[in-house]
Amino acid sequence: MDSLEGTLWDVVLYGTGIRQSLLALALSRSDKKILHIDSHQWYGGAEAAFSLQEAKTWVEGIQHELEHPQFKKASLHHPERDDSQTDAPKLSYPRAYSLALAPQLIYARSDLLRLLVSSKVEKQLEFVAIGSWWVYQSALAPQGSSDDGTADGGESSRSSLLRVPSSREDVFADTTLDLNGRRKLMKFLRFIARFEDEPDTWQQHASKPFPEFLEQQFGIPVAIQSPLIALTLSLKPPSEITTEFALSKIATHLRSIGVFGRGFGAVIPKWGGLSEIAQVACRACAVGGDNGAYAAEEESQDGADSSFKIKLSSDGRVSTRWLVGDVEDLGLGSMKETSIGGGDSRSDTAIIASRSVTVVSSPLGSLFPPVAEGSPPPAGAVVFFPSGSLCTAGSEEISQNHSPVYIQVHSNDTGECPKGQSVLYTFTAELGPPGLQLLTNAMTGLLAAVEEDPTPIALWQMQYEQSSQWADADPPHTLHAVNNDRIICLPSSSPDLSFDDAIIENVRDAWKRIMGDEVDDASFMVFEDREEMAGIDEDDDDLG
C-alpha cells in the first residue's frame, strides 16, 4: 500500500468501533474523502469479536495497559484438560469461536435495523432471534407463588428458572401465579402498551423507584415483581430504577414482540454481536470508492486553514478537515472515572460493570424452547438474577442486597461457538473480587438449574471490567481553538445488554457536523441500491 504521507482527507475516522463504523457507513455515499484507521489488527474496537487466540492477545493487552483504559482487570481461565478422559467435553480449535465484546440484543423497535435496511447493508447480515427470558430462583430462597408472598422454603427445593411472561398468552399459561396475580399482571400489560397516553397513572411517580410504583399503582407485591424488573435490563438494584426508565424499557420490549415474527422481539447479529455490523459498515465505506486504509496511529497536531495535520506512526503525516474518534484513543484527555469497587461503583456519570465471557460444554437446549409455530428457533436467551437470588462471596446464605446479575446465553446458532457448546455473557455492577464471585455464583447457579446430567462445565473464560464515559464528552482545551471544532469526540461504549439508540444519535450528530447544516436529516443512512449505479458489485469485499 502506498504511503499516506502528505495526503489530504476530508475525514479521518479513528477506530472501527460501532460508532465510527456507522459513521463511515453514513458518509459512504457522500463526496467526502474518508480515511478510516485502526491501531488493531481486527475490526470492531470495543465491539470486536474474538477467536480464542485473539481474546488471549486482547486480555494480555489490557494487562499491559495497551488497550483502551475503559477495559481493566482482565484475566483468562482455561481449565487444564484431562486427556485421560477421552469423552470429556473439550474446547475446539481457536478459530471455531467468535466471542463478542458487544453481544447487545437489538429490539425490533430500535432504529438500528431500519437504518441498516435503508442504507442497503442489511442483506449482508444475518440475525438470530432472542427467545425466552428467565428469572433465576435459588434453591435456598423462599419459593413464592401466591400473591401475598407467603411460601415454603427449604433446601429440599431445587433452584429453578421461571420464564418471564411477555404476552397475555404467557400470563394465561403461567401456572406459578394465582388468578389474582395474573389479573394484576394482565392489567399492567394493558397499561404498558399505551402508557404514554395515561400520564395520570405514572407521571407523578416518574422519578420514584419502580418497585414502589408497581406495588402502589398495580398492587403487584415485591414477591412477583422480578419478571417485570428483568425486562428493564438495568444493572442497578431495583430501588434505584426509576419508574420512567422502567416503563420505557418494558414498553420497548413488549412492543417489539411480534414485529419480526411471532413470539420474539429482539435479535442479535450472527458471528459475534455488533462486530459484524461494524465490519459491514466499514466495508460499505470502502466499496463506496473511499479509501479503507488500516494503518497504525498516533497523535494530533494543529495545522492551518480548514485542515490540520495529524501524524500516523508508520505512514507519516496526513492532513484532514475532520478528525473523529474516542477521546482516549485520540490522546486528548482521560475518561472521568469514579472510584472502583465498593460504594461508589454506581455513579451517574459512568457505568462500570464486571463482565465475563464463558464457553460452556453444553448447548443448554432447555433455555431455548421454540417461541411460536413458524418462527425461527431462538439462539439467544436472557437470564436475570435478582437481588435475593444469590449468595455473595464468603457466605452460604442468600444475600438480599447484592447487585443484580444478567446472563445472556448464546447458542451455537449465533456462530459464536461450535455445536454442542454455548456462550455465557455475564454482567453485574458489582466490581472487584466480590463482583467476580457474584458472576461465578450466577453461572454455577444457572448450570445447575438447567438440570442436565452431567452438569455442564466452563471450558474457557475471560473476565474484565468495562466502564464508559458519560455521553456528552467535550474535547478538553489542549488543542488550538480552530481545531477544537473539527475534532469530534465520540463516547466510549457502555456495557449494555441491549443496543442503545443513543449510539445512533451520536452518529447522526457527527454526520450532521461533517456534512454541514444544510443537509436534510431525512437523508441520513438512506441510500439507493448499488445495482442501479454503474457496475459496482456489492458483494465484492476484496477491499480493505
Residues that bind another protein (CB under 8 A): 29, 168-169, 171-173, 179-180, 182-187, 189-190, 219, 262, 372-374, 518-520, 522-523, 526-528, 532
**Phi/psi of residue 113, each to 5°?**
-65, -40
Give the closest residue to 409 by CA, choosing from 443, 441, 433: 443
CB 127 within 8 A of CB 269: yes
What whole-number distance in Å separates Cα of residue 447 and Cα of residue 450?
Answer: 6
Q: 3-class DSSP state for residue 437?
A: helix
Q: Which is nearer to another protein, 299 or 531 (CB)?
A: 531
CB 248 to another protein: min, Å: 23
Q: Which is nearer to another protein, 2 or 532 (CB)?
A: 532
CB 230 to another protein: min, Å: 20
What whole-number distance in Å separates Cα of residue 530 and Cα of residue 28?
Answer: 12
Q: Which is nearer to another protein, 186 or 450 (CB)?
A: 186
CB 228 to another protein: min, Å: 16
CB 421 within 8 A of CB 359: yes
Residue whose cell numbers read 412492543: 255
- 56-89 core/surface letters (b: 16 or more CB in 10 A; e: else): bebbeebeeeebbebbbbbebeeeeeeeeeeeeb
What whole-number distance in Å separates Cα of residue 257 and Cα of residue 130?
Answer: 10
Q: Which is nearer to another protein, 173 or 502 (CB)?
A: 173
Q: At what angle do helices 274-287 and 18-27 cross, to 10 degrees?
A: 30
What's the CA angle centered on 500, arms 166 and 232, to 5 degrees? 35
Q: Which is nearer to another protein, 179 or 481 (CB)?
A: 179
CB 488 to another protein: min, Å: 21
Q: Terminal CA-to-CA distance of the chain, rounded, Å?
A: 11
Residue whose cell numbers read 467535550: 474
CB 76 to another protein: min, Å: 45
CB 523 to another protein: min, Å: 4
Q: Which is nearer to another protein, 93 or 172 (CB)?
A: 172
CB 528 to another protein: min, Å: 4
Q: Which is nearer to another protein, 180 or 314 (CB)?
A: 180
CB 225 to another protein: min, Å: 16
What whole-number distance in Å separates Cα of residue 183 and Cα of residue 148?
Answer: 14
Q: Which is nearer to another protein, 190 or 336 (CB)?
A: 190
CB 179 to another protein: min, Å: 6
CB 328 within 8 A of CB 462: no
H-helix or E-strand containing 114?
helix 111-118
Q: Which is nearer to another protein, 42 or 527 (CB)?
A: 527
Q: Which is nearer to another protein, 189 or 330 (CB)?
A: 189
Cell output for 78: 482455561
Q: Which is nearer to another protein, 474 or 528 (CB)?
A: 528
What whole-number distance in Å separates Cα of residue 446 and Cα of residue 463?
Answer: 18
CB 320 within 8 A of CB 425: no
CB 539 to another protein: min, Å: 21
Q: Which is nearer to another protein, 96 or 526 (CB)?
A: 526
CB 508 to another protein: min, Å: 15
DSSP state of 80: P
- 243-259 core/surface letters (b: 16 or more CB in 10 A; e: else): bbbbbebbbbbbbbbbe
CB 264 to another protein: min, Å: 14
What is the residue type of 428? T
H-helix or E-strand containing 263?
none
What is the residue type of 142? P
For β-strands 458-468 and 71-77, DSSP reports them as: antiparallel
What is the residue type of 308? F
